[in-house]
Amino acid sequence: MESSDPPFQEFYKKLFDSHARNKNDFKIFDVAEERELPMIDLGLEEEKCKMEIAKASQEWGFFQVINHGVSLDVLEKMRCEQVRLFHRPFHEKIKEGSEKFNFLAGSYQWGTPSATCLRQLSWSEAFHVPLAGISTTGDNDISTLSMTTKQVATKISNLAQKIAGILAKQLGHKPNFFERDCSTTSCYLRLNRYPACPISPEVFGLMPHTDSDFLTILHQDQIGGLQLVKDGRWISIKPNPEALIINIGDLFQAWSNNIYKSVEHRVVANKNVERFSTAYFFCPSYETMIQSCFENSVYREFSFGEFREQVQEDVRIHGYKIGLPRFFI
């Protein structure tokens, strides 16, 4: 029976061979202490909730929420649909996406094509799903997947607008500030799978990075592996089955003039078990101009399209993202 796993070791053989020759120079991951993110109950008193969200966005760049309005049953159904999707044979996922996964056509990605060393390789696969492109037509399996994805996306879109509105209002702007620029035509979901990795911890599930959006909302399973930088050290985030994780992206950091923090994070591969997650990216259109909401901005004005192009060019040339430092005044 054909494997569902991407052929990492065959496709990236040169990287593995080079790593084997220079293994004495390899540095093992820093030991990461497991901690819990700030927990915010969205069902609590409104002003207290808003203050906690703003504080966590400034001090952590990450927080988790409960009573978020997204049914846990629907999130579990989404995870089950992802398992079925990713367990299809690899050739179906990579070659026949337009026929078999119509709303996911052309969006399947795996590994890191630009990697020049093993530390730049992400041991993962993903479907990038623009919200505007979700179709509920197709065979029964795909239709069920599409309907569940659309249901999850709709609920999380509402949550993203709510969180963004709170953060905008805390800086003196109207809570509907992002409704025009961040709509279903520009936001997207990423369905992630991190296969069991026989050479963990020598590769990442997802290499260290910051997110290139305003907000990311993440639902993960209970395997764990998400880590972030806090006070100059990597910490491991303890999974919570009832919570969604929110993190600030680069655009919010630029827009807030560094008040809200876009924090570097990564996923550590697991040697024995696979891991699944669903990430919602709260993005504007490529034409949207990003400028500080304060005078004396740290960053020059730029469009989201320009930012994305610069990130892609840096990854292609250097193998990693440089991000906001490219836009310092």
Q: DSSP label at 294?
A: S
DSSP string, 160-196: HHHHHHHHHHHTTS-TTTTTTTS-TTT-EEEEEEE--
Indicate left, alpha or beta for 278 from its phi (over 0: left) and psi (-120 to 50: alpha).
beta
Where in the chain does DSSP place strands (E)? 33-35, 39-41, 62-66, 108-110, 125-130, 188-194, 204-209, 215-220, 226-230, 233-237, 244-248, 265-268, 275-282, 289-290, 302-303
Phi, psi of 115 (to 5 degrees): -60, 135
Residue numbers annotated as active site: 275
Report the C-alpha dihedral over residues 191, 149, 82, 75, rounded to 10 degrees. Answer: 100
Give the pairing of strands 233-237 and 275-282: unpaired
Residues 68 and 244: beta-carbon distance below 8 Å? yes
Place of tokens 């569940």: 148
